[in-house]
Amino acid sequence: MTIELKPWDVAEYLDTPERIALYIEAVIDDGDPALLAATLGDIARARGMAQIARETGRSRESLYRALSDKGNPELTTLMGVLKALGLQLSVKPITPAAT
């Protein structure tokens, strides 16, 4: 008996604003900018990269490049993608770790 496996794709599970927010928060806590760009790419794929490209005024190809783990998107790109996803960036103070 053989078991057929399919590649796991996080984009398949990003189907609610709550899941998307939790995913982004976990990545931001990690502190890796490349991972944040790739995460936004996952979310954009889940929502439809072509639609996000239209809403941001960028080409689909440039978004795929910028929002990859090798990409280095400009702040304007990140802000445009967040807005197209119906998200906003917020900042909070870092709380010291419990000792």
Q: What is the mean pLDDT of residues 32-48?
A: 90
The average pLDDT across 64-86 equals 90
| Residue 97 confidence (pLDDT) above 80 | no
Report yes or no on 92 lying in a domain. no
pLDDT at residue 81, rounded to an integer: 92
Q: Specify if 6 maps to a domain.
A: no
DSSP per-residue string spanning 30-65: HT-HHHHHHHHHHHHHHH-HHHHHHHHTS-HHHHHH
Would you say residue 99 has pLDDT above 80?
no
The answer to whether residue 97 sits within a structural domain is no
pTM here?
0.77
Between 1 and 65, the higher pLDDT residue: 65
- Domain span at residue 39? 12-84
